[in-house]
Structure 1
Amino acid sequence: MSVPLRAITVFHAVARSGSITRAAEALGVTPSAVSQQVQALEVGLGTALIGKAGRHVVLTEAGERYFEMIGPEIDRIMEATQRIQGFRSVTTLTVRATPSLSTKWLLPRLSGFIAAYPDIELRLDGTNEPTAFQKESVDVEIRHGTGGWPGLFSEGLVEESFRPVCAPSFAAPGSLAAQDLPGHLLIHSVKSQVQWASWFERAGAVPAARWRRLLFDRTHMAIDAAAGGLGIALESDLMLWGDLRAGRVACPLAAPPRITLVTQWVTCPPDHLRQRKVRAFLDWLRRERDAWTAERDMRNAEQAATNL
């Protein structure tokens, strides 16, 4: 029994979206029509492809394997079709990054990429979820973590320096010592790789058994809370840069301990590196990284000279 391509593309839409309703909306048909096409495909293949989990659909083991096999091919067919039909006059590059990196570092620099590559349509997907590249149409991810993911190209973005910061109205720059900090409300980024306990150990300060905390699961929220005068945050200069330059936050310590770490990694399957759009983005990202590093080092040197 031959299987119609329409049924295959409908299953692809369901598997990608995880919902019959969302797949129907994307395809411009009714949910019942989607269900009928998936059922016809299951009959043609002789196996169940999807099941129910509450209001969502889940792929069976056979469905997972089938989607992995057809996903890249369907994506290429759809892109080629859209180009021929004139729906897409440029190449689309999908980049995934955490909401904090997207907001605090990437977004202020994107105008340079747009100007340099007018033929590339950029889609920035701000999420903390790691990409399943075999199942998702993501070209490059800037992933928060420790690097070294098997099967993926992985390049550290930059070495970051972590420091306490607050609004200048909360505590003037250089006005506090490390042992003073537990007396203030301390803002925590719960997913950060550098936490207050390790910072106090590095600073040689012994905090009280309990101290007042304000916790966020997003770095950009912690930074904005510090800039708003709520307390003192411990954050990376990569994420802080725009707020430091604008004077919205400053370090309340004259000589904080130096803590450096690479927490952001550019990742993708090795075969993605053959694509012009991916190489263009990585080249641009490295130029921006080098320019930012030079600006940061110059600013740090100027501040050190001022403190002498």
Structure 2
Amino acid sequence: MDRPDLPLNGLRVFEAAYRQGSFTRAAIELRVTQAAVSHQVARLEDRLGVTLFVRASGGLVPTDEGRALYPVLEHGFDAMARTLDRITGHRHIETLKIGVVTTFAVGWLWPRLPEFRQEHPSIDLRISTNNNRVEILREGLDMAIRYGSGSWTGLESDVLLEAPLAPLCAPSMAEYLTTPESLSREVLLRSYRSDEWPRWFAEAGALCPPLTGPIFDSSLAMAEIASDGGGVALLPVEMFTRRIADGRLVQPFSTMVSASRYCLTWPADRPPTPAMRDFRSWLLTASAEPALGTSA
């Protein structure tokens, strides 16, 4: 049986729509109308004899056939771009889009980016930050660094850093914190993970006081308020070594409690590009090294 004569433009439009999760966003990227994108995808579906997307209120939901087609096309388009650049003598610049939880981006990744860019000048690294809520494919990302258990459905992951928690506060407050029980007199800043303070107090061998402090979805916000004397925050110490080093934050107790970890994630069904492999290798090496400003 003859294979269908597939339109290259339709395949390219499908790839953009899948990555963007929206005909409208794909149209903006490709600089065409939304109707043109819809038409191209419908024409491709007709030629293939399958449905590639189910239109839902939340956006486009790829079918099994769509999910099988996307990684093949993405890999193929990237391979064509690299080959054409070699033929024409141009240096290939590969774009890599990474979503990063903000605390990790500011506290760990940003100071190390000059090293990555120096080692990999052919990778155009584009970073978008989030508060640990990210959908890789829906947001057009290649990979994401997030905080959690390391196990997410449909994703592969590498553990980059463990993130044990400890109370951090302003130096002026730390001098009054002589025992874990003395924390009951202070405002305890809380994350949306409600078990963290009770677990820390249990590790410290003390009863957890009633928790009435404000709740945040950002460790950076808690750190900023804590450094201004607004309360005590339970934070991943590794992400705030610079603030501790310059005296803005103090760790009054050595007790730390194991929490989640920072992980690099990517879709399990997506063949990694050269840029994805290079970034992953660099991250694993860098995360195994001592924290900046410390010695082994």
* Aligned partner letter, 2:217: D
Pair 1:282 & 2:285 matched? no
Question: Residues 59-98 of structure 1 correspond to what in structure 2 (within 5 A)?
Answer: 59-77=62-80, 80=83, 89-98=92-101
* Aligned partner letter, 1:27: L
Pair 1:250 & 2:250 matched? yes
Aligned CA distance change for structure 1 residues 187 and 83 (closer, same or farther; 3 Å) = farther
Aligned CA distance change for structure 1 residues 273 and 38 (closer, same or farther; 3 Å) = closer
- Counterpart CA distance in 2 for 1:180 and 1:4 is 70
* Aligned partner letter, 1:295: T
Higher helix proportion (structure 1 or 2)? 1
Identity between Structure 1 and Structure 2 (%): 29
- Provide TM-score, normalisation by structure 1: 0.77
Aligned CA distance change for structure 1 residues 75 and 117 (closer, same or farther; 3 Å) = closer
Q: Which residue of 2 aligns with 1:302?
A: none
- Provide TM-score, normalisation by structure 2: 0.80
Alpha-carbon distance, 1:231 to partner: 1.1
Q: Which residue of 2 aligns with 1:183?
A: 185
- Counterpart CA distance in 2 for 1:276 and 1:38 is 28
Number of residue-to-residue matches in the alignment: 291
Q: Which residue of 2 aligns with 1:237?
A: 237
C-alpha offsets along residues 109-152 of structure 1, whole Å, 9 cap, x if unaligned? 2122223433332222434346668x9652x5434223366997
* Aligned partner letter, 1:176: T
Structure 1 residue runs of 5 or longer lacking an equivalent are 298-308
- Counterpart CA distance in 1 for 2:199 and 2:5 is 62
Question: Residues 1-308 of structure 1 correspond to what in structure 2 (within 5 A)?
Answer: 1-54=4-57, 56-77=59-80, 80=83, 89-127=92-130, 128-129=132-133, 138=142, 141-147=144-150, 154-169=157-172, 171-173=173-175, 175-191=177-193, 195-208=196-209, 210-251=210-251, 253=252, 255-260=253-258, 263-267=261-265, 275=274, 278-279=277-278, 282-283=281-282, 286-287=285-286, 289-292=288-291, 295=294
For the 8 Å contact 2:161–2:287, the answer to whether it is kept is no
For the 8 Å contact 1:273–1:279, the answer to whether it is kept is no
Query: More displaced, 259-268 or 1-10?
Result: 259-268
Alpha-carbon distance, 1:212 to partner: 1.9
C-alpha offsets along residues 231-285 of structure 1, whole Å, 9 cap, x if unaligned? 110111111112112222112x3x4324345612345569978947734663465
Alpha-carbon distance, 1:157 to partner: 2.5
